[in-house]
């Protein structure tokens, strides 16, 4: 019997074939350390993405040796996922601005109607999302990216007229209610959110900035042109 056993699997195969005469085992399984390291690296990257709120990456692609395509950016789930009780604002109540984000409006005195008594807080509208946080505890907050906003409307509630935001099935289909006084301010806020949401859907932003540059070489001299 000829054996080039290199793994436990081959050992078990040898035991199985040992009852047969003239049985020849030829190893077809090889341990490849590179694949093992690649698998471990992939697992580590996935865990890092799942356990941290910010995932940074920079990648480069060279095209035809003369064209360079460079894409660099910051990827975070805050661009696409509904977040609750996260590090959305700092201790002073200032919004932590994401790359490419611009604050459009800030509304004070907004009541979150998720509880019987309601919670007084602040609503901030940006070009990417709607954020609300409690005045007394900034850790009690919610961030709603427009790509997860299914509907925004004004409707009656037991608290009177309220701003109601429905989220998509992918984000849990939440129904969030907010009280804003006076009524005119409430309706203006609703129109503003719908307008910002529509603009975001026409040109969504995922936190990736792209720049393309052309390298022109002539007689050992290089010139870079921004496209």
DSSP 148-200: GEEEEEEEEETTEEEEEEEEPGGGT--EEEEE-SSHHHHHHHHHHHHHHHHHH
Query: In the chain, where does DSSP find H-type helix?
Result: 8-17, 33-51, 183-202
Say how far apart CA 163 and CA 144 lie, in whole Å. Answer: 14
Encode 25-54: b = buried (16+ Cβ within 10 Å), e = exposed: beeeeeeeeeeeeeeeeeeeeeeeeeeeee
Q: Would you write out the chain's pLDDT as a tens digit for each of its 227 residues?
A: 444 444 555 555 555 455 444 444 444 444 445 566 677 777 776 666 555 444 333 333 333 333 333 333 444 566 788 999 999 999 888 999 998 899 999 999 999 998 877 899 999 999 999 999 999 999 999 999 999 999 999 999 888 999 999 999 999 999 999 999 999 999 999 999 999 999 998 887 776 666 666 555 555 444 555 55
What pLDDT does residue 41 have?
72
Sheet with strand 221-226: strands edge to edge: 54-63, 67-76, 208-218, 221-226
State the DSSP code for 95.
Answer: B
* Residues 107/122, Cβ–Cβ less than 8 Å: yes
List the structure tokens of 1: 């019997």
- Distance from C-alpha of 95 to C-alpha of 47, rounded to nearest angstrom: 27
pLDDT of the residue at 74: 42
The whole-number pLDDT of residue 79 equals 76
Report yes or no: 128 and 100 within 8 Å, Cβ to Cβ: yes
Phi, psi (deg, nearest 5) at residue 173? 55, 50
- Residue-level pLDDT at 110: 97
133: CB partners within 8 A, 6+ apart: 88, 89, 93, 121, 122, 139, 140, 141, 142
Contact 166, 150 (CB under 8 A): yes
Question: What predicted TM-score, i.e. pTM, was given to this entire model?
Answer: 0.61
């Amino acid at each position: 019997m000829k054996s080039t056993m290199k793994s436990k699997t081959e050992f078990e195969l040898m035991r199985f074939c040992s009852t047969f005469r003239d049985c020849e085992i030829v190893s077809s399984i090889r341990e490849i350390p590179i694949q093992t390291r690649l698998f471990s690296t992939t697992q580590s990257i996935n865990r890092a993405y799942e356990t941290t709120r910010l995932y940074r990456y920079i990648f480069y692609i060279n095209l035809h040796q003369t064209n360079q395509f460079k894409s660099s950016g910051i990827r975070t789930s805050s661009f696409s996922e509904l977040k609750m009780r996260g590090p959305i604002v700092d201790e002073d109540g200032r919004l932590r601005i994401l790359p490419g984000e611009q604050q459009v409006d800030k509304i004070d005195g907004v009541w979150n109607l998720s509880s019987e008594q309601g919670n007084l807080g602040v609503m901030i509208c940006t070009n990417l999302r709607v954020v609300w946080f409690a005045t007394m505890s900034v850790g009690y907050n919610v961030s709603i990216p427009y790509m997860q906003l299914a509907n925004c409307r004004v409707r009656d509630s037991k608290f009177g007229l309220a701003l109601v935001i429905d989220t998509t099935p992918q984000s849990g289909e939440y129904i969030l209610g907010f009280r804003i006084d006076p009524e005119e301010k409430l309706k203006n806020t609703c129109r503003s959110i719908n307008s910002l949401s529509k603009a975001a859907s026409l040109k969504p932003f995922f936190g990736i900035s792209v720049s393309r540059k052309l390298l022109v070489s002539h007689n050992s001299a290089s010139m870079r042109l921004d496209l």
